[in-house]
Chains A and B, each alone.
Chain A
Amino acid sequence: MSDFAVEPSSHMSVILDLTPAQWYLSSLPKNEYPLSFRSFLSQTLAFLNSHLASKHENTLAVYGALPGKSVILYSSTDSSVGQDETVADANSYQPFKTVDSVVASQITDELDALGDSDEEAPCQLVGALTKALCHINRIMNPNFTTGASDAPQPTREPRIIILSVSPDLSTSYIPIMNSIFSAQKLKVTIDVCKIFGPDAVFLQQAAHLTGGSYIYLERRDAYLQHLMMTFLSPRSVRGILAVPTQEKIDFRAACFCHKTIVDIGFVCSVCLSIFCQPVPVCSTCRTKFPMKTLQRLNASRPSFPPQPVVRSMSAARTPTTSTPPGTRTPSVSNHHADRTTSISSSASAKVNGSSSVAVGNGMTP
């Protein structure tokens, strides 16, 4: 009869990608399954209501990632956000009605406020993601400073769902990676539904590293059904009902110097910063590399233009930040010769023709 051995309530943060240009492209009838923003919004709202319907205590927060800014559109835990006094009516459940009207009106306000110049700005997905993480941190640790935190709290299962339409922004590689690490620490699952546009490399990694699922929506006429079957279930149910996870993940990283996604990168042996070409001085930790090494590395770079990017590679491959074991050996043998930073591409990647970041490890100066 204990009161706290009950099914945990779950918290869901949803990030809507509100880039007008991408939504225009998505609604064009030349697409196989055009999806307009209006129909996207109504299906998403039905999904949000289904989450609230599942359990009385479930909480919800909705964020919008707009060009140049990110906003919170709705939060069921914080009554100060966009709570307008909706008139009650007998035909709808009040919490659902509040979500629908608040989210719709906030989106309209935000999109109206966008100027022509703003629309060129990149989509602030990272801003929305970090806001969502901060919010989750707050509701997971209420009254952290006061002594009341030892009161029994029903464990929530927090998760973040990103509904993305815009392509990867390579400048946001580092902040996204940092968000992923904090999500891992908070035990937050990040689910990604890629509705339109090319596969998002960083979001794939986000879903993979936090145990969520990444779905590239091909049948966009079945958007709501995808949401229901894949993203509605809390973590406890996912142990029973299998949800699709991606088989192949693109683990490529972006370089720190030009923020481009690289197939072959050069890694500083001291701080592990990634560069797209050999540099004499690491821009992050100011380590100087000898001239001889640079020349050798430049000589070893493939002269042929980079092969067309293979969209994904096997999930079993080592992530970029770890060093393939085979590449470590030459640098050890060079230990006394000079302060070499040897960077070589991994043999396996060359042989099977797929592109990958080849990480070599050098000596510490």
Chain B
Amino acid sequence: MPSKLTAGSFAPHQLLPFLQQQSQGSLTRLYQRPSSCLSIFRLLSPLERQLVMNMLWLESPIPSSTMSAWVNKDGKKLYDAALSSLSQIHIISNPLSKLNLNPTFKSSLRQAITGGGEHRSFGVPSEKDEKRGPTTVESLDAYAVERWETILHYMVTSGTGQAPTKPSQGVLYLLQRSGLMATIGGGSLQITSAGFQFLLHSPHTQLWDLLLQYLHMAEERQMDLVEVLSFLFMLSTMELGRDYSTENLSETQKAMLEDLRDYGLIWQRKASSRRFNPTRLATTLTSSLPPLPSSSRSGSASQAQGFIILETNYRLYAYTDNPLQTAVLNLFVTLKSRFPNMVVGSITRESVKKALANGITADQIISYLTTHAHPQMRKNTPLLPVTVQDQIRLWELEKNRLKSQEGYLYTAFASQADYEFVLKYAKQLNVVLWENGAKRSFFGSMEGHANIRGFIERRTGAGG
């Protein structure tokens, strides 16, 4: 999620545009569950949340003029934007005269905050399992990391001749459906340029990208979207390390268990088990905490702190033993040597050009390097060496040296006067892209052609 700290305005969450497309009826059904309301509330921007809270405990609608009196002069634009986006997902009924929360949303969010009711929307905890001990958070984390990295690793190594563990059919279908991978020439699955870009995103963005695709797919599979969404929201409010019972789930949600197990959001002992555990991927869906535990395989918290050191001579040292991270680096770095705890490589013209050809942009490379920079690098200002940053951008510009434009070449003019007369007319239209007086020819763009042809025809017609 590309969020910027600019005076309380943040990029909206990826899910909100999807919610805006839903009908008012299905959203109201979704708002019947307090857990969904709480999760959606957390996805809103800070100002939107404050507005909702201002109105949550009011019994009667509040006149718009009263509410807007609370807004500073500078905040007027943000305030209007917040109101309109709230009304787009039908949390506010009518932003024109009087402001009021959607009554369903209001009562559900109140219930979420004060507790009580009989909605059972925060997940039914299962009885203590006497035979086996409780599931530890560590084992859940390990499971989630293993699942998630299997997917990413499969993507990054596809087409390189290696044979990594294949994720399940459901995942493969989803990857193909979302355009992250495609079958090329009827052969095996290959990663697409969208897939390469996806690999450089933060785990949180990746997760929501996939879940959004899952939601689109659920629509096509005639699954009840309200059930699907409310199950995801329920997972996000669950507690890590607690067992939950499957008994209260609807049929749709039971079917989802299997899919989410493949993505690593849910852990179950057996497919037929009557209890399930959400993993950290699921419980951090509505937060900005890292969805994967900070230490994956190495003992230190390398992923959270960053592991890449980049020098001004384009050499790159990455303190990692994670094959996935190495494979991602391999997308734009020429790796030279590999040690038990680190890899050494350098950024070269060839390696960057390869990445650019795959559809990765220079900005994505730079932002990946910035995000994963080693704590030692953070003492530098600017963080990455300027020479390397500039060179990566220049290499990208190299790709754009040639620019193609469609048009017509006008040549074989009878006389120099003829040529200059037509050229003058074309210049008045501002359609000349190239001209050569010696050869008596010029090149005009597509849109000017009809005019120029008409002009020449009129001239020859008048003259002849």
* Partner-B contacts on A (CB < 8 A): 1-3, 5-8, 46, 49-50, 53-57, 88-94, 96-97, 100, 150-152, 154, 224-225, 228-229, 232-234, 236-237, 239-242
Name the residue on A nearest B287 (C-beta): A56
Could you tell me the distance between the alpha carbons of A5 and B5 in the complex, rounded to whole angstroms?
7
Cβ–Cβ contact A46 & B113, under 8 A: yes
Name the residue on B nearest A9 (C-beta): B288
Contact digits for B195-224, partner A, Cβ 8 Å, 1 yes 0 no: 000001110110000000000000000000
Query: In chain B, residues 77-125, which have Cβ atoms closer than 8 Å to a Cβ of chain A?
Result: 78-79, 112-125
Cβ–Cβ contact A152 & B1, under 8 A: no
Which one, B3, B38, B125, B237, contacts A7 given CB within 8 A? B3
Stretch at the interface among B50-58, B169-177, B352-360, B430-438: B50-58
Cβ–Cβ contact B8 & A236, under 8 A: yes
Residues of A within 8 A of B75 (CB): 239-241
Cβ–Cβ contact B115 & A241, under 8 A: no
Stretch at the interface among B255-263, B371-379, B384-392, B420-428: B371-379
Residues of A within 8 A of B7 (CB): 236, 239-240
Cβ–Cβ contact B58 & A241, under 8 A: no
Could you tell me the distance between the alpha carbons of A278 and B70 in the complex, rounded to whole angstroms?
49
Question: Which secondary structure characterizes the binding site on chain B?
Answer: loop
Name the residue on B nearest A43 (C-beta): B57
Residues of B within 8 A of A152 (CB): 378
* A90-B121, A239-B75 given; 15 more Cβ-contact pairs under 8 Å: A1-B201, A1-B371, A5-B4, A54-B53, A56-B289, A57-B287, A57-B288, A89-B125, A93-B38, A93-B237, A94-B239, A96-B112, A150-B379, A239-B7, A240-B7
Does B230 touch A at the CB level, under 8 Å? no
Residues of B within 8 A of A228 (CB): 53-54, 56-57
Cβ–Cβ contact B50 & A237, under 8 A: yes
Which one, A88, A236, A237, contacts B125 given CB within 8 A? A88
Residues of A within 8 A of B289 (CB): 56-57
Known A7-B10, A7-B46, A242-B71: A50·B115 in contact at CB below 8 Å: no
Known A57-B289, A232-B50: A2·B72 in contact at CB below 8 Å: no
Does B47 touch A at the CB level, under 8 Å? yes
Cβ–Cβ contact A239 & B367, under 8 A: no
Name the residue on A nearest B79 (C-beta): A240
Residues of A within 8 A of B70 (CB): 229, 241-242
Residues of B within 8 A of A49 (CB): 113-114
A-B contact pairs, 23 of them (CB 8 A): A2-B2, A5-B4, A6-B1, A7-B46, A53-B38, A91-B122, A92-B122, A93-B34, A93-B35, A93-B122, A96-B113, A100-B115, A154-B288, A229-B70, A233-B50, A237-B8, A237-B47, A237-B50, A239-B8, A239-B72, A240-B75, A241-B79, A242-B72
Residues of B within 8 A of A240 (CB): 7-8, 47, 71-72, 74-75, 78-79
